[in-house]
Structure formats: C-alpha cells, structure tokens
A and B are shown apart, each in its own frame.
Chain A
Amino acid sequence: MDIDWDLVASSFWPLVQGGIRGTIPLSLASFFLGLVLALIVALMRLSGNKVISAIARGYVSVIRGTPLLVQLFVIFYGLPSIGVVIDPWPSAIIAFSLNVGGYAAEVIRAAILSVPKGQWEAGHTIGMSPVTTLRRIILPQAARVSVPPLSNTFISLVKDTSLASLILVTELFRQAQEIAAFSQEFMVLYVEAAVIYWVFCLILSSGQSQLEKRLDRYVAH
C-alpha cells in the first residue's frame, strides 16, 4: 500500500486542532466537573445517612453498569423526545462528567478510607470539626493516594471523548472522519488520529509520574 504522505502532512494540523479545540477542552471540563461530582458522591456514600448513601450507591451503579455510548445517546438523542434539547457540546460535557463522577467517586471514597483513623482523631484532639479535618487533614492525604487511579480515569476519558464524534462534536476523531470521508483514505486518517491520541496519552502519563514524584516527598513510605 502506498501511503499518501502529502495527505498525512496536510491533515496533521486539522487533526491536532480538533484535539486542541475539541478533545482537550472537552476532557478538561468533564474531568473537572466530574471530580467535583465524584467528591460529593463519595462523601454521600460515606455519610452515616442510609438514604443519602443509597442514592449515591445507585448513581455509581447505573453509571458503571451502562455503556458510556448509551449514556451519551440518552442525553443527546433521547432527551429531546421528552422535550429536553441540549446542544452537542453541553450534552457531551454532561455525559462525560456524569461518567467520570461515577468512576472517580469510588476512587475518592477508597482514598478517604485509606487515611488512617488516627488522622481523624488527631484532628479531633486539636479541636477541629469533622469538616475541617476532612478538608485540611484527610483530603490532602487522600489526594496523594488517588493520583494514580485518577490519572488513569483521565487518560481513559481523553480516549472516550472520541465518542462525542457520534453526537456531532467536532473533536479530533470527528475531524479525522470528515477528512477521511472526503479523501477516501480511511486507513491513513484513522491511524494518524490513533497516533495523535497516543501521543496525548504519553504526555499525560509522563505528567502523572512527575506529579506522583512531587507529591511523594511529603508522604511516609
């Protein structure tokens, strides 16, 4: 097979632009909102209240037990039939945030539980309320523990945003599809898109190890 290198070169920048304008902001926004949601859900699960904790458990179960693509379609193609029409971008951000929220909630919950009970007691003895202890003592330690699993969640999210192409969001993969449809060079474009995703993820992985190393200094081994 002859590779059309001119096409590779001329499509490279539009694909990267799709990444910069689509994939990256979509990932960042969804991850940030998803983390906030995850923290709330994790705390709901840890709260002593049975009802609140059951709601959180149900949410996590639904998110983890259904395909992301189906969640995306329910929001973008399903909701309009009950009168709720949401644009592609907000739909994508909502779906991905809810998804991250479900997965990261379990990570954060486990991380909070991994902090020794003595840390809560030390917070108590110096006069802190449970909320202050959580904020100043427990969460910083839990954050360190959750960096590796949350980085994995983020890397998965970056790849999963390619699904947004199916609800008309112009991101990296949709860009590739459009150029491929036009040039009929499917192999070239899809492999090129794959390589760009891969490079993004390599960069993120190395960022993750840097972050872990930096946070490591403060923690006992």
Chain B
Amino acid sequence: MSPTDPLAPRGTVPAHEPVLTVSGLRKSFGANQVLKSIDLSVRQGEVLALIGPSGSGKTTVLRCLNGLETPDGGVVAFRGIRPVDFASPASKKQLASLRDQSAMVFQHYNLFPHKTVLENVIEGPVQVQKRPKAEAVREASSLLDRVGLADKRDQYPHELSGGQQQRVGIVRALALKPSLLLFDEPTSALDPELVGDVLHVIKELAEEGWTMALVTHELAFAREVASEVVFMDGGVVVERGHPDQVLRDPQEERTQQFVHRLLNPF
C-alpha cells in the first residue's frame, strides 16, 4: 500500500488499538426496547460483522453510532474524542463530534439524485470539511477510478446500475476519511449478479486496513473479511468471536439455528 493510495485509510491510529468502544448501549422506540445493553469494540484495521435475524437491532446499532438515532443510554467512545455518555442528554456538539467519526453506506445508497457522481462524492469534503475543491476533485476522481467508475463521474445516479450506485455510496463515505466505515446490508438491495462487484470493493477496503462495522446476511463474505462476528438477537449480543468459530461452530443454540437457516434456506 503506497502512501498516496487513494483507498488508504487515515493512518494515525496504531493497529489493534480500539477505534470504537461501546458499552451498555440501549435504545427503545416507544415501548419497544430494541437494544438492551450492547457492548462492542472495533480495533484499528479490523472488520466487525454484525449478523442476526430481522428486527434484532443491527441497523439500530449502526444508526446510533452515526448519530442517526440517539441512544437512551450507554457510552460511545471513539478514540481521540471525548466519550459520549448517553445517561444524560448529549449536546449537539457532542453528537456532531461523534457523527464525524464515522460514515454510513446505506442499504438503498441514498445518493443525491440532483448531483452528478463527482458532486455526490465531493459534497462532504468541500461543503462540510471545507477542503479545497481542486484537491477534493482529485481525490474523488482517483477513488472513483479505484472502484471502476472513472468514466461515470459526470453522470447522474439514475443513469447507473444499483451496483454502480452503491460503489458511489462507498466512495462518498470514503471521501470523508472517517475513522470508521459503517455498512448496513450494502448488497441486499442489489440484483444477485451485481453483488460481487460491491463485495469486492469492500474486501479491498478491508485488506487496505480500513476499520469497519458491517451488517450483512452474506455469511460467506463475513467469514472471509470479518475479524470478529457478532451475532445479535432480540436486542442483545448472543455470541461473538472469530468468524470461523461463530459461523462454523457456534456455541449458542440461537446462533446455530440462525446460521443453519441462512446456509440451508430450503
């Protein structure tokens, strides 16, 4: 990995230091307690895969980390900023500092339809991070090139396939240089033949040392890229560990059932 590699992550944190530590994360929607005290940590350069049945709270975990939902309790600590304890209401400033640590890649891409591919990617760096436009364009172009979309930079999102749109979504997140990338089922809205391209990009990012948390139903993929797999059910972490262990030899009955069902759908 060369120092000018556009896909290279921000390399300030030594490997294996936790980038993120979450403890006791709780979130309810009305009477529905969706997260009941979740503990997680992600180390620099590692990939955390969150798996679990529908409604188990995986998306809600990612959304809490990115400030799209405000937790009811728990502590979220990103390396380098003050931990935020949600026991008392967090200030706007705290929420913003937390939000700026991560960037979300959405299941349905959520690209800006009125902006070109390039404009989508440089919007954050230029408008929010106030970086020089020329530099942002240069970086965006080389990122787009890396994911095979160099020739699409002046097109609008609706002119692209789902797989291409999602790769733009990934590049838009990368361009912010977050310390943690969040992926919420990045391929589940895609036609099967387009899934491979997107997974390939994510795998490359993992290999290049990006730190990420990934919600996925692609167990084979999780086994290949994840450093740790966390199985959630009913708003709690049921089992966690090395992918080979959790996915091939799960200890908990609920994990066994879930993995078995995903591997043998019929």
Contact stretch, chosen from A57-65, A69-77, A137-145: A137-145
Residues of B within 8 A of A125 (CB): 66, 68, 99, 102-104, 106, 173
Residues of A within 8 A of B112 (CB): 119, 122, 137
Contact of B68 among A119, A121, A140 (CB under 8 A): A121
Residues of B within 8 A of A141 (CB): 113-114
Within 8 Å of chain A (Cβ to Cβ): is B239?
no
Closest to B172 in A: A126
Within 8 A of A (CB), among B67-116: 67-68, 96, 99-100, 102-104, 106, 108, 110-114
Contact B110 A118 (CB under 8 A): yes
Proximity bits, A113-135, B CB within 8 Å = 1, else 0: 00010110110111110001000
Separation in Å of the B136 CB from the closest CB of chain A?
A: 12
Contact A124 B67 (CB under 8 A): yes
Within 8 Å of chain B (Cβ to Cβ): is A50?
no
Contact stretch, chosen from B20-28, B120-128, B211-219: B120-128
Within 8 A of A (CB), among B131-181: 156-158, 172-173, 176
Asked whether A121 and B114 contact (CB < 8 A) given A126-B128, A128-B128, A219-B158, the answer is: no
Contact of B110 among A121, A128, A132, A221 (CB under 8 A): A121
| Docked pose: A116 CA to B112 CA in angstroms | 11
Residues of A within 8 A of B157 (CB): 220
Within 8 Å of chain A (Cβ to Cβ): is B251?
no
Separation in Å of the A114 CB from the closest CB of chain B?
A: 13
Within 8 Å of chain B (Cβ to Cβ): is A182?
no
Contact of B103 among A126, A128, A219 (CB under 8 A): A126
Residues of B within 8 A of A137 (CB): 112
Within 8 Å of chain A (Cβ to Cβ): is B129?
yes
Residues of B within 8 A of A119 (CB): 110, 112
Within 8 Å of chain B (Cβ to Cβ): is A218?
yes
| Docked pose: A121 CA to B62 CA in angstroms | 13
Residues of A within 8 A of B104 (CB): 121, 125
| Docked pose: A144 CA to B114 CA in angstroms | 10
Residues of B within 8 A of A21 (CB): none
Separation in Å of the A181 CB from the closest CB of chain B?
A: 52
Residues of A within 8 A of B108 (CB): 118
Within 8 A of B (CB), among A146-191: none
Contact B99 A124 (CB under 8 A): yes
Proximity bits, B36-76, A CB within 8 Å = 1, else 0: 00000000000000000000000000000011100000000
Separation in Å of the B112 CB from the closest CB of chain A?
A: 6
Contact A127 B176 (CB under 8 A): yes
Most B-side CB within 10 Å, residue of A121, A126, A132, A141: A126
| Docked pose: A156 CA to B113 CA in angstroms | 31
Residues of B within 8 A of A118 (CB): 106, 108, 110
Most B-side CB within 10 Å, residue of A116, A118, A127, A141: A127
Residues of B within 8 A of A144 (CB): 114
Residues of B within 8 A of A132 (CB): 127-128
Residues of A within 8 A of B110 (CB): 116, 118-119, 121-122
| Docked pose: A124 CA to B66 CA in angstroms | 9
| Docked pose: A140 CA to B128 CA in angstroms | 18
* Interface, chain B (partner A; CB < 8 A): 66-68, 96, 99-100, 102-104, 106, 108, 110-114, 123-124, 127-129, 156-158, 172-173, 176
Closest 7 CB pairs of A and B: A126-B124, A220-B158, A118-B110, A127-B128, A122-B110, A125-B104, A218-B114
User: What are some 26 contacts across the A-B interface (CB < 8 A)?
Assistant: A116-B110, A119-B112, A121-B106, A122-B110, A122-B172, A124-B66, A124-B67, A124-B68, A124-B99, A125-B66, A125-B68, A125-B102, A125-B103, A125-B106, A126-B128, A126-B176, A127-B96, A127-B129, A127-B176, A128-B124, A128-B128, A141-B113, A218-B114, A219-B113, A220-B113, A220-B158
Other contacts beyond A126-B103, A136-B127: 19, CB < 8 A: A118-B106, A119-B110, A122-B106, A122-B110, A125-B66, A125-B68, A125-B102, A125-B104, A127-B100, A127-B129, A128-B128, A132-B127, A141-B114, A217-B156, A218-B156, A219-B158, A220-B113, A220-B157, A220-B158
